[in-house]
Structure 1
Amino acid sequence: MSENAVRPAVRTVRGSAHLAVAGLGLAGAAWALRAVWHIRLAVAGEPASGLPDQGEGRHRPLTSLENSYHLVSTAGDLLTVVCAALFTGWLWRMRDNARALSGERPRYAGIWVYASWIVPIVNLWFPRGIVADIHHKSAPDQKLPIVVNVWWALWLVGMVSGVGLMYQDDTDQVIARAYQGVTGLLVADLAVVGAAVAAILMVRTLTAVQLVRIED
């Protein structure tokens, strides 16, 4: 059956909301820790032996600080993936409930709940649009909470700054950036941490709004 032919039943979202909040909290903490290591690298300064990636395929042995940053970065990446899975799980359930409550088809096809985060250009507005559509169908008489726009603005800053989920630099290149000018890295770190905090508030706010409709 096509997606539009099936109207899903309303399901509780408390559990998925709690998981999403936990995931966002862990991811935000991981990025805050990454910011601490960026500061530590900047304060330590570039070693006399030069950057880790010395060009032409040559890499020198990492210092203990650089090696620990690799561990922090890897842990942060893993927690971010876990967070993404938990957040999209909440988003999907909220979307199903919004459809059941309104009796209207979602504005965006189901594939975009996942693909909208990674498809270039589309990822600049589709994810926010999905959230806004969920809120509109859950509570058509209420304005979109301002926290949604705060979350999305901070997310975009973190993403386009070159250190968010879409960044292209490998870990050694990020280390080089910390040595050569840490300000841009810290701006991105703070934006991602801020986006995680705003997302927690958004999840709690939208979940509460939908629960009111479900429990009426």
Structure 2
Amino acid sequence: MALKPVRSLGNALGVLIGVSMAAEVVAAITSVLAALSLSAYDPATRYESVPLTTAEAVDAVTALAWYLPILASAITFIVWLFRTRHNAEVLCAVRHRRARGWLIAGWIVPVVNLWFPRQVVDDIWRASDPSTPVDRITLDELTRSGLVKAWWVSWLVWLIGDRVVTRMTLGGETVNDQVHASLVASVSAVPFLLAGVLAILVVRRVTRFQQLRGSESAGSTPWASPAVQL
């Protein structure tokens, strides 16, 4: 089977992640401004009785606009995963731990979405790594990527923080509650930005691995897609 191009897709994904990170910075700033605008009121005042401030309105619009680059990045990342998974199976005989369907389902199925996506990326990384023998069958004893682990941990930290912010925002009854929610939302930008930088590095490294391995195997007979463990 022929390898699928991933360099241009990886570059596009890097740009989209960068735009998402910029949107997150803007959202963090508007969250702080919203908190400052609310601090003019008595902290014990019921939030529903306070008129909408300009800063809050801008923050709400920014939050909605934030989803656009995130959605584009998510779609592109899934496409990139399918292409790199295909190439990994062509370039190396190693069996992946998850079937291809989990490249999408792994992100949305509750509970398993806490570790399946990392396993998918980690297996692609190890199968693509030029140091992995092309005839290797299992992933046992192969070193897992520290970069992939750091990316996934930072992503989970942001995900948890985002859930906390949502609960605080929906459950906050006083001005003080909403101020705290806005401040926590701004702080949660830190793990998001870290995850973004690490994701770009992971994409670049896997893309580079596959380019190197592809050039080495040029003219040789590619491996048939191996079976995967469910």
TM-score tier by shorter-chain length is 0.7 to 0.9
CA distance in 1, matches of 2:113, 2:166: 16
Question: Which one-letter code corresponds to 2:16 in the other structure?
Answer: G
Structure 2 residue aligned with 1:113: 103
Corresponding residue of 1:24: 17
Equivalent residue in structure 1 for 2:26, among 8, 29, 33: 33
Please report the TM-score for the alignment, with normalisation by the length of structure 2: 0.77
Alignment match of 1:86 (pick from 76, 81, 84): 76
State the secondary structure of the residue aligned to 1:11.
coil
For 1:194, the equivalent position in structure 2 comes to 194
Q: Answer yes or no: is the 8 Å Cα contact 1:116–1:122 preserved in 2.
A: yes
Q: What corresponds to 1:133 in structure 2?
A: 123
Residues 58-99 of structure 1 deviation map (CA, whole Å, 9 limit, x = unaligned)? x86522111111110011012111110111111111001001
Question: Structure 1 residue 118: deviation in Å?
Answer: 1.9
* Pairing 1:12–2:5 present: yes
Task: Give the stretch that moved more between structures: 120-129 or 108-117.
Answer: 108-117
What is the TM-score of this pair, normalised by structure 1? 0.81
- The separation in 2 between residues aligned to 1:132 and 1:41, in whole angstroms, is 39
Find the aligned partners of 2:151 and 2:99 in 1 and give their Cα distance: 22
Q: Does the alignment pair 1:44 with 2:34?
A: no
User: How far apart in 2 are the matches of 1:44 and 1:64?
Assistant: 8
Q: Residue 184 of structure 1: CA displacement? A: 2.9
1:145-191 CA-to-partner distances (Å, cap 9, x unmatched) read 42211111100100112349xx7559777997551355532332111
Kindly, what percent of the aligned residue pairs are identical? 30
Contact 2:37-2:53 at 8 Å conserved across structures: no
User: Amino acid of the residue matched to residue 30 of structure 2?
Assistant: W
2:136 matched to which residue of 1? none
Q: What does residue 205 of structure 2 align with?
A: 205
Q: Which amino acid aligns with 1:185?
A: A
Structure 2: tracts of 5 or more residues without a match = 134-141, 217-230
**Contact 1:10/1:100 (<8 A) preserved:** yes
Q: Supply the distance in 1 between the matched residues of 2:46 and 2:26 (Cα, whole angstroms).
A: 22
How far apart, CA to CA, are the structure 1 residues paired with 2:182 and 2:168? 16
Cα distance in structure 2, aligned partners of 1:23 and 1:205: 17
Mean Cα displacement is larger for which, 154-163 or 127-136?
A: 154-163
What secondary structure is seen at the aligned counterpart in 2 of 1:116? helix
Partner SS, residue 162 of structure 1: helix
Task: State how far apart, in whole Å, the 2-side matches of 1:193 and 1:29 are.
Answer: 9
Offset of residue 25 of structure 1? 0.7
* Pair 1:152-2:152 in alignment: yes
When residues 136 and 180 of structure 1 are mapped into structure 2, their CA distance, relative to the original with a 3 A threshold, is: closer
Q: Residues 170 and 112 (structure 1 numbering): CA distance in 2 closer, same or farther, change over 3 Å?
A: farther
Instruction: Verify the 8 A CA contact 1:73 1:171 in the aligned structure 2.
Output: no
* Separation in structure 1 between the aligned mates of residue 180 and residue 109 of structure 2, nearest angstrom: 31
- Indicate whether 1:101 and 2:94 are aligned: no
Q: Aligned AA for 2:28?
A: A
Counterpart of 2:66?
Answer: 76
Q: Distance in 2 between matches of 1:189 and 1:115?
A: 26
